[in-house]
Amino acid sequence: MRKYEALIVLNMKGSATLDELTAEMAAKLEVAGAKVTETNNIGRREFAYESNHLTHGQYMLFSFDAEPSVIRTARESLAIDERVHYQYYRSK
């Protein structure tokens, strides 16, 4: 297993709270095969320009252990979720 980080920018327009969204994103990563070790709330940040009619996003950093093949599965799983505005993965 390798160590990874996922930066996920959430669209907070809707009825879910930040804690609920964080738990759901961590659960989706774990279903894909990752073992989430840490979750950090980086905060709400303004975008440099409007993107998909959004001016702000909630930045979350997930640290996890996984096999390399899990990244593709996690990316595909989160890509279809309309609450995920952006996602970026890197190895630690």
pTM score:
0.90
The residue extents of the domains of the chain are 2-91
> What is the topology classification, in CATH, of domain 2-91?
Alpha-Beta Plaits (3.30.70)
- Residue-wise pLDDT for 71-88, tens only, equals 999 999 999 999 999 999
DSSP character at residue 81: -
CA-closest candidate to residue 82, choices 35, 31, 15: 15
Residue 22 near residue 86, CB atoms below 8 Å:
no
* pLDDT for position 88: 97
CA distances to 4, 5, 12, 46, 56 from 38, in Å: 11, 9, 21, 24, 24
